[in-house]
Amino acid sequence: MNIFNNTGISLTILTGFLGAGKTTMLNRILNGNHGLKVAVLVNDFGSINIDAELIVGIESNVISLANGCICCTIRDDLIATVMETINRPERPEYILLEASGVAEPSGIAMTFNNPSFRDRIRLDSILCVVDAEQVFTSPEFMDLKLFQMACADMIILNKVDLVGSDQVARIKEWLDSRFHCYRLIEAVQADVPLPVLLSVGRYDPTQADPNWYNLKHHDCRDSHCNQKHHHHDHSNVFGTWSYETDRPLSLDVLSEIVSKLPVNIYRAKGVMYTLDAPERRVILQVVGRRVDISLADEWGKRTPRTQIVAIGAAGAIDEESLRAKFEQCIGNSVAGH
């Protein structure tokens, strides 16, 4: 099992066929009042609708926003664009990269999985946005649509409000016939909470604010939402579960368990106390089938302790079963702790 140092900026690749809702999702992030420094890399500024009041600076290919985000155009050299972005004076905390509607995301993922980028970029996930209303149109591009979904760690089935339950069931049956295991989230107007989209939230060493795992009501600051003064309540759709122990875990056992989490678990992350590296904190990041385990700093004067949180479908998380699985990871005590 490979364990790397945890120093890279998390990068999420957003894919999906033309018109699926990628731009709507990007607009939500760029116009959101979330306090995160997110760099959104897009193919064309023209498709992005940024509130003029948020803009605090414009360079040749970069728009800086008052909420801490920046929006950059992807030029001919993708790697150069990403490197320029992370080397800016105000270093972003997260990068969200928009793949074009007809792009195959696997090539982009392979680029940033290169070990030479490991200390600067950590590929967090590939998300695929699918239009529930138009998924079966353009049959000549069906292979591309399926490939985009096959590459994804999670599928965002968008615009479910425009179709009936029969169409959603038909889509799921169609996916079941093609994929052995996949994670699907239903969405309206590409509204998915940031703890699902990005590597943010409790037990993330770069984001200590526990409010990110509060999925209950929050004010909608999206200037493109038709209801200016309503609330989005994600707690009806998503649920969280947490696990804590002061006994060290076996990474080999844990790696095996988290790679086989139920499909209704979308993300899991944590800071872990392990038998394998007892003097250092070990960071766990799980998105769909993607498992990332990396070394962080030493515990120092902090008490070694494992804290893991999972986010999944509301009412579908089997807490007893999950706890039993993680209890299997507990090993013998480490001398000196």
Task: Look at residue 154 and tell me if it is in a domain.
Answer: yes
* 47 within domain boundaries: yes
Asked if 170 and 52 sit in the same domain, the reply is yes
Digit-coded pLDDT (tens) for 3-56: 656 568 888 999 999 889 998 898 888 888 778 889 998 876 666 767 776 677
pLDDT in tens, 62-98: 888 887 788 888 766 788 888 888 888 888 989 999 8
pLDDT for 135: 95
**25 in a domain, yes or no?**
yes
Residues 31 and 158 in one domain: yes
Tell me the one-letter amino acid at 171.
I
Q: Are both 59 and 180 inside the same structural domain?
A: yes
Domain assignment present for residue 133? The answer is yes
Q: Both 82 and 164 in a single domain?
A: yes
In a domain, residue 214? The reply is no
Residue 96 lies in a domain: yes
Range of the domain at 251: 236-327
- Tell whether pTM > 0.95: no
Q: 184 and 245 share a domain?
A: no
Q: What is the pLDDT of residues 124-159, one digit of tens each?
A: 889 999 999 999 998 999 999 999 999 999 999 999
Q: How many domains does the chain have?
A: 2
Alpha carbon separation from 183 to 111, 209, 270, 284, 290 (Å, rounded) = 24, 26, 20, 19, 12
* Rounded percentage of the chain residues whose pLDDT exceeds 90: 38
The DSSP line for 119-163 is: TTEEEEEEEEEEETTTTTS-GGGHHHHHHHHHH-SEEEEE-GGGS
Query: Do 253 and 179 fall within a single domain?
Result: no
Among 163, 195, 227, where does a domain finish? 195
